Amino acid sequence: MPTFADLGLPEAVVTTLAANGIESPFPIQAATLPDSLAGRDVLGRGKTGSGKTYAFLLPVVGRLTANPKSRRSGAFRALILAPTRELATQIDASLAPLAKATGLKSVTIFGGVGAQPQIQKLRDGVDIVIACPGRLEDHVKSGHADLSGVEITVLDEADHMADLGFLPPVKRLLDRTPRDGQRLLFSATLDNGIDVLVQRYLHDPVVHSVDSEQSPVSAMVHHVLHVDHDARFEVLADLAASPGRTIVFARTKYGAKGLARKLNSRGVPAVELHGNLSQNARTRNLGAFSDGAATVLVATDIAARGIHVDDVNLVVHADPPVEHKAYLHRSGRTARAGSEGTVVTLMLDSQVSDVRVLTRKAGVKPTVTKFAGASHPVLQEIAPGERTFSGPIVLETPEAPAQRPAGQSNRRRKPQRHSGSGGSGGSGSPGGNANGRRGRPRRSGAATSR
């Protein structure tokens, strides 16, 4: 395996990577870097957690550093498009030490926050823009962002952008970038209209696929727990109270809110992440999970892509996803960067057939256990260790209403009391009784994306 220095990255970049504990490239990085650093268009596919973020950040930083240019107000040299605010933020966090070491400036652009600070940074001049398509298109239309000088364009999680309906604005943005610019497209899968982007915008791309889109991370252990409805929450609470970090996936926003509230009532520090929260609340809750204040994150599929938190031991599908790709993306929040992890799907009688099809299409052969009640020895095998309950998480920062673009109303919300779940209300989740038990130690960690 070649080193980062062997691949031709600047010394400042190699030194910065080493200082952050990154000393050797992942397979997708080693495969794509020679072509991307040479200016070729690259189409890269790798499973979640395979290292795609640095696979495009490193050539962007390397190429801009090798050919420095003065900044122009409103213009920039590299554009990275991402489907969600959380992913854009975490890409920027990974870029930050590299940009500092090489003197590059970046800005993140997405909705849900005020536009003026973004506009000011664009006016001051930046080298790299990390953006969600909608808000960036607003800045382009208002004349605050100029794409005519973009030398490198990156599409990250392109298939997820297609799933979310972002292909029309992505195409409009790409149409404004120079035709002879370099384009790097990275995705876990290459369907849902991705072939249209490839044919229209990539020129003679080099294709690197480091794994099958159906193969799960080999370090994952998969379980299906066949439970009845009344015992469902009890089983979930037992798993959530085990040592380490846990991500729980719910089908709906209200289901996520309800589960987070019930877990907090049970004494498990949990926060929620879904589209009904303001950007401030989403950032706050993800930060609480990353720094260990909360040991459980209850999320909708918004968190299945691009949420990179170290040491997630367990992923629980409280509601099985509809299709196999969602299962793999959700499950990929654990067993990242070579670590091990466990994935549990809770299955009711009515879901047996759907889960069987789901796991078969995902290429997974889970261990299936049927429960007669709410307890079973397999729970200790899946998540060993003492169950501890420290009480609900209390976040001091109140949720601020999302700032809306000009022309839209920003209705005042009634004050809400928070116990880490981002608000009150919401049913849509399995039932359970609220009981307080013993304390649970906090864990520390950092949000990363590699």
Domains, the chain, ranges and CATH? 4-209 (3.40.50.300), 220-382 (3.40.50.300)
Q: Please write the tens of the pLDDT for every residue from 237-278.
A: 999 999 989 999 999 999 999 999 999 999 999 999 988 888
User: Is the per-residue pLDDT at 402 higher than 50?
Assistant: no
- Which has the closest alpha carbon to 215: 335, 382, 84? 335
Q: How confident is the model at residue 165 (pLDDT cuts 50, 70, 90)?
A: confident
- Looking at residues 195-212, what average pLDDT do you find? 83
**Secondary structure letter of residue 76 according to DSSP:** -
Tell me the residue type at 444.
S
Tell me the residue type at 274.
H
Contacts of 153 (CB under 8 A, 6+ apart): 78, 79, 80, 81, 174, 177, 181, 182, 183, 184, 201
- Looking at residues 54-71, what average pLDDT do you find? 95
Q: Please write the tens of the pLDDT for every residue from 73-95.
A: 999 999 999 988 888 988 998 99
Q: How confident is the model at residue 441 (pLDDT cuts 50, 70, 90)?
A: very low
User: Is the per-residue pLDDT at 125 higher than 70?
Assistant: yes
- Laid out side by side, the sheet with 78-81 consists of 106-109, 128-131, 78-81, 152-156, 182-187, 42-45, 206-209
**pLDDT for the residue numbered 211:** 56
Strand partners, 44: 186, 208
Q: How far apart are CA 51 and CA 340, in angstroms?
A: 16
**Secondary structure letter of residue 110 according to DSSP:** -
Q: How confident is the model at residue 439 (pLDDT cuts 50, 70, 90)?
A: very low
**pLDDT for the residue numbered 51:** 78
Where does residue 338 rank: exposed (0-12), middle (13-18), buried (19+ CB within 10 A)? exposed
Helix locations, 346-412, DSSP H: 352-361, 378-382
Q: How far apart are CA 13 and CA 199, in angstroms?
A: 32
- Looking at residues 381-408, what average pLDDT do you find? 65
**pLDDT for the residue numbered 249:** 94
Q: Are strands 245-249 and 341-347 parallel, antiparallel or unpaired?
A: unpaired
- Looking at residues 396-417, what average pLDDT do you find? 41
- Which has the closest alpha carbon to 298: 236, 384, 225? 236
Helix (H, G, I), strand (E, B) or coil at 345: strand
**pLDDT for the residue numbered 419:** 39
Q: Please write the tens of the pLDDT for every residue from 410-420.
A: 333 333 333 34
- Looking at residues 4-31, what average pLDDT do you find? 89
Helix locations, 176-305, DSSP H: 194-201, 229-240, 253-266, 279-290
Contacts of 401 (CB under 8 A, 6+ apart): 278, 410, 411, 412, 413
Any idea how long the chain is? 450
**pLDDT for the residue numbered 44:** 87
What's the chain's average pLDDT?
A: 82
Q: How confident is the model at residue 174 (pLDDT cuts 50, 70, 90)?
A: very high
Q: Helix 229-240 to helix 253-266 angle, to the nearest 10 degrees?
A: 70
User: Is the per-residue pLDDT at 442 higher than 70?
Assistant: no
- Looking at residues 211-239, what average pLDDT do you find? 79
**pLDDT for the residue numbered 217:** 47
Task: Decide which of 400 and 4 is more confident.
Answer: 4
Contacts of 245 (CB under 8 A, 6+ apart): 289, 295, 296, 297, 309, 311, 312, 313, 314, 443, 445
- Which has the closest alpha carbon to 27: 331, 337, 335, 448? 337
**pLDDT for the residue numbered 410:** 39
Tell me the residue type at 38.
A
User: Is the per-residue pLDDT at 166 higher than 60?
Assistant: yes
**pLDDT for the residue numbered 159:** 81
> Does an H or E element contain 59, and which?
helix 52-66
Q: How far apart are CA 260 and CA 328, in angstroms?
A: 23
> Are 271 and 357 contacting, i.e. CB atoms less than 8 angstroms apart?
no
Q: How far apart are the first and last CA of the chain?
A: 18
